[in-house]
Amino acid sequence: MKYTLKEHLAKKLIPKDAIEERVNTVAKISQENVKILNESAKGKKRKLIVTMEAIHVGRTKNYTYYTEEGLKAGLSSWTHPYNKPVLTHHNEYNGEPIGRILKAEYSEKTLSGKPGLIFTCEITDPDAIEKVLDGRYQTVSIGASTDKVICNICGTDRTQEWCDHWPGEKYEDQTCHFIIGTTYGREVSYVNTPADENAGNRTVEIVTDDGDTQESVHVQVYQMAEGLYQNAQDPEVNLYEHLNEDVKKLLDAMSNVKEESGKRMDGKENKTTENVNANNPEQTPNQGVPVQENQQGVQDNSNNTPENSPTPVQENKTVSGVADLEEANKRISELESKVSEMQATITKLVMEKVKLESRVSELESENNTLVSENARLVSEVHRALAEKVVDLKLSLRKSDVIGVTREEAIEAHVARTKESLTDTYNDLLAEAKQMRPEPGSVKNPGYAPEDNQTNESFQEEKMTAKEAVETMISMFSPKKRR
């Protein structure tokens, strides 16, 4: 299949200034909206001071991974050179800011149990103030830029070059995500579905024009019933299933106390109405209250036994219910503290795991480099051995290297194994040594004897003095000119 232009155009690099942590899903809105503050400040000019958890260390639903180093490195960018805006739905081009970020800090401990960025924001838009107070503006998402986006599968910087890995897809049982470098802040927005599910408002203060400040409250609501204990912001998770039996009994007792209290109140009202109607059918319900009291007085005088008096029993039950409620709240606080500690421990372990995986990747890269270098050196040594064998064969005038170039002979010998070349080289060395004369065996190395004449036979022929003189004269006399 040919590589098409459409496929090429689809391979877009990730822009460094286009990080928005939200997901395109339908928002899950809780039935019980959180009411943070009362309306005592209505009619006055007011603003909100909101503390929010903006982004946390770890992977989001967009499969982007934020590191502690990256969040800390870009921390000052949220308030310098100017305080970044608070927007809605990342509309940073033509949207009106509803407030500003006053302070940004990195915290190891948050209410969600994960380390991350904590923003202190000032909300001044009147419509936004109402929506924050009634819980419509609850979850947030950051808009930021970065210096690099690293693929965790291959280590490619996707802002500089393309790779074939997609976030969320699995490659050899490893899920792909992009590791964000330094996070440079642009804005924070209220959104319906944040990619970081723990990002949102944590405390809210309302400040009026006369300087009054309402007490801040934590935006954490838990729903409780028999067999049910859940956070209103996460209604799909039933925390009851993860509690031990003692805590489950306490929660069930709290639920039963609440239900019995409601039933007793309903029963008391019904009994009051019945007594009024029995003694004075024409009397209205508002007039029946003193009749109820008179009737109780008659009952007390006619029958003073403790068994027939319902009031002490009801008081004892109420006191017992309050005690159970206090004990359950105490136990829940202890469990929440333990859960936070466990989440912090898990977070640290995850970060340590990420660091170790990064170190393993570095070591694997170094190992691959060394393996490649070793293979290159082995190849060079093998070729050098082949060159030595070819050179020896050329000096010995071997038939397999006659009629071909030296490079062709070398390439043919490179294809042989190291053992074969080593054996051939040793054999050629031995043969060359046999053909080499022993030192001192040549009497006259400058004289080449005639065919079938040995050096010894030449040495046996002696010259006379006259022949020697003539030989010397012929050697040093000038040549005759023709």
Query: What single-letter DSSP state applies at residue 194?
Result: B
CB atoms near residue 245 (< 10 Å): 7
Distance CA 344, CA 337 (A): 11
Can you spell out the DSSP letters for 56-95? ESEE-TTSEEE-HHHHHHTGGGGTSSSPPEEEETT-TTTP
For 42, 234, 255, 260, 369, the CA distances from 267, given in Å and listed in that order, are 39, 35, 18, 10, 83
Distance CA 204, CA 223 (A): 21
Block residue for tokens 């944590």: 202
Q: What's residue 274's pLDDT?
A: 47
Q: What's residue 260's pLDDT?
A: 56
Q: Which two three-digit tokens encode residue 215?
A: 């007490």
- Cβ–Cβ under 8 Å, residues 123 and 129: yes
- Cβ–Cβ under 8 Å, residues 45 and 210: no
The number of C-alpha atoms within 13 Å of 393 and in the hemisphere containing its C-beta is 21
Q: Give Cβ neighbours of residue 223 (< 8 Å, ≥ 6 apart).
A: 32, 229, 230, 231, 232, 235
Q: What's residue 467's pLDDT?
A: 80
Q: What's residue 168's pLDDT?
A: 92
Distance CA 127, CA 278 (A): 55
Q: Given the DSSP bridges, would you call strands 217-218 and 178-180 parallel, antiparallel or unpaired? A: unpaired
Nearest 5°: CA angle at 108, between 102 and 111? 75
Q: What's residue 283's pLDDT?
A: 42
pLDDT digit string (tens) for the chain, length 482 residues: 455 666 656 666 666 665 666 554 333 334 344 444 444 445 567 889 999 999 999 999 999 999 999 999 999 999 999 999 999 999 888 889 999 999 999 999 888 888 999 999 999 999 999 999 888 999 999 999 999 999 999 999 998 999 989 999 999 888 999 999 999 999 999 999 999 999 999 989 888 766 555 544 444 555 666 666 666 555 556 666 666 676 777 777 766 665 555 555 455 444 444 444 444 444 444 443 343 333 333 334 444 444 444 444 455 556 666 777 888 888 888 887 787 777 677 767 777 777 788 788 888 888 988 998 999 999 999 999 999 999 989 988 888 888 889 999 999 999 999 999 999 999 988 888 887 666 666 666 665 555 555 555 545 556 777 787 788 777 776 655 44
